[in-house]
Structure 1
Amino acid sequence: MSPRQFLTVLLLACAAHFAVAADPAPTDHKLRVVLVGDSTVAEKSGWGTAFMKLLAPDVECTNAARGGQSTKSFLDSGNWAKALALKPDWVLIQFGHNDQPGKGPNRETDPETTYRANLIRYVDEARAAGAKPVLVTSMVRRTFQPDKQHLRVDLEPYVAAMKKVAEETKVPLVDLHARSHELIEKLGASGVAEAKMEAEAKPPATHDGTHLNEHGGEMIAPLIAGELRKVAPDLAAHLTPAK
């Protein structure tokens, strides 16, 4: 081999080496989504499990919601710290039911002060941990007025406070309260009963109109997915196609 031929082969080998080195290394990283909230999000009583089924295979989702939790107790119990330790890319946050008056000093908050402050803390700490927060307003209770068509409403102050925080902090907002209100009033009391979306109550004769069984979760979860397609397209890109 002549010196010129040798040099040509050497240059081609070097070019091939750098071309391979320039290719990005394959990765098996999945987008991490964490759900945070109370029993209306948690497994076996909320929409979380059904929502996870709507995510594409490239998503790893953990339901960190816990029954009986409020914005206050979820922080005080260390559950929020555990959720952040999962290192999520996105975190969906829904509270309100247990922040209401009558839930006890360890849980209840005031919508204009402590609830608002807690939500801002969730947003700030999620962002500091490298996660993108999404606020989700509380799902309605399925409690009807005597006309059996219109709902009794009691979560509005907490919904309004969350909307204000979302606007001020420029966080995507899923208005599940509005979407679930529309769905439940469209069904009416008789339609809700026929849909059999109620979670098993204890005692069995008690129906609180708040918690969901598997079928109920499958009715509510698409509402969240639909809202995400409007307010968080980057996350919505990792949802399965809408039916």
Structure 2
Amino acid sequence: MTIDRRTLLRASLGGATAGVLGVTTAAHAAPRPRRRSTIFVAGDSTAATYALADAPRAGWGQALPVFLHHEITVVNAALSGASSKSFADLGRLDLIRDALRPGDTLLVSFGHNDEKVEDPARGTDPWTTFQDYLRRYLDGARAARAHPILVTPVERRRFTTAGVPYLSHGEYPDAMRALATETGTPLIDLTALSFALWGELGPEATKDHFLWRDAGESPNYPAGVADNTHFQAHGAIEVARLVVGAGCTIPGRDRRALRDASIPDEVLTWPATRPAES
């Protein structure tokens, strides 16, 4: 399954966060540099780009350009429902490998759906098949002379009745951390970073980050929604801030944006369709 880079990058050019296989760039025009650096995202629904009919639901990959300089292009290939196994088995990894060029960056973040071990199409074992599939992403990036970065899965909104957060991803983050050490791959520990943030915010304030809306509050969710896994715009932006802030090897980091604590939700835009599913 192949596709040329130009076709991939033309898939859906948009505004601040409009696009993959979709391409997203910063909102304002800038002089074209000698070479545009591209960041590819391989991941699941927590990172995916969502359509206008899904708003205010958004993924952290959709919000990455908020914290990057204008010369950086983001190809957010994150696919709702994907695991490290199903993403590769569906040929999505092949698309990325065909499009990667020397100097590009590949962010790899799975775990949520790998945990669904009852599903043979998606489930993996943390210390065997999960690591084996992740190696395919690392090897593919390095074969293209691109730079892979492992990103542990973002933590869900999980609190005890006493309001204490608890971890939900089992051994998958540890397996990814161990693989990063073994292979000398940069790691962004988004599990730990997001868990710390949710603990700091507490059960009520985290509802402003996750996809919680009361009945009648959002036309796309007329009956309301209480989703403890996926984000609304504010949460996607703040998780993207964690990723870029911790990703010291991510190219084009906008330190001014990373310091700006008042980035509005309106900086995000939603395409007409989910690009990764189009």
Distance 2:122 2:142 in 1: 24
1:157 to 161, 168, 171: 171
Corresponding position: 1:208 with 2:214: no
Larger RCO: 1 or 2 (CA < 8 Å, sep 6+): 2
- Which structure has greater helix proportion? 1
Residue 61 of structure 1 is matched in structure 2 by 74
Distance 1:196 1:137 in 2: 19
Look up the equivalent residue of 1:77 and give its one-letter code. L
How far has the Cα of 1:101 moved from its partner?
3.2
How far has the Cα of 1:67 moved from its partner?
0.2
Conservation of the 8 A alpha-carbon contact between 2:60 and 2:237: yes
Where does the alignment leave 5 or more consecutive residues of structure 2 unmatched? 1-31, 51-57, 214-219, 260-278
Q: Partner of 1:60: helix, strand, or coil?
A: strand
Structure 1 residues 152 and 205, CA gap change in structure 2 (3 angstroms): farther
Structure 1 residues 211 and 199, CA gap change in structure 2 (3 angstroms): farther
Distance 2:106 2:222 in 1: 33
Cα deviations across residues 75-129 of structure 1 (Å, max 9, x unaligned)? 0000111122222510000000000035511000000110011111211111012
Conservation of the 8 A alpha-carbon contact between 2:61 and 2:240: yes
Distance 1:198 1:62 in 2: 24
Residue 116 of structure 2 is matched in structure 1 by 101
2:193 to 151, 173, 179: 179
Corresponding position: 1:117 with 2:132: yes
2:240 to 221, 225, 241: 221
User: Which of the pair has more CA radius of gyration?
Assistant: 1
Conservation of the 8 A alpha-carbon contact between 1:199 and 1:211: no
Structure 1 residues 68 and 146, CA gap change in structure 2 (3 angstroms): same
Cα deviations across residues 202-238 of structure 1 (Å, max 9, x unaligned)? 7954523110111111111111111113xx2xx35x1
Cα deviations across residues 3-32 of structure 1 (Å, max 9, x unaligned)? xxxxxxxxxxxxxxxxxxxxxxx9642011
Look up the equivalent residue of 1:67 and give its one-letter code. S
Following superposition of structure 1 onto structure 2, how do residues 134-173 of structure 1 map, counting pairs within 5 Å? 134-148=149-163, 150-173=164-187
Conservation of the 8 A alpha-carbon contact between 2:64 and 2:241: yes
Distance 2:91 2:142 in 1: 18
Structure 1 residues 27 and 153, CA gap change in structure 2 (3 angstroms): closer
Residue 7 of structure 2 is matched in structure 1 by none
- Which structure has greater strand proportion? 2
How far has the Cα of 1:176 moved from its partner?
0.4
TM-score (norm 2): 0.71
Where does the alignment leave 5 or more consecutive residues of structure 1 unmatched? 1-25
> How large is the Cα RMSD of the aligned pairs?
2.1
TM-score (norm 1): 0.81
Residue 37 of structure 2 is matched in structure 1 by 31
Distance 2:45 2:212 in 1: 11
Look up the equivalent residue of 1:53 and give its one-letter code. V
Number of positions where the alignment pairs a residue of Structure 1 with one of Structure 2: 211
Corresponding position: 1:40 with 2:40: no
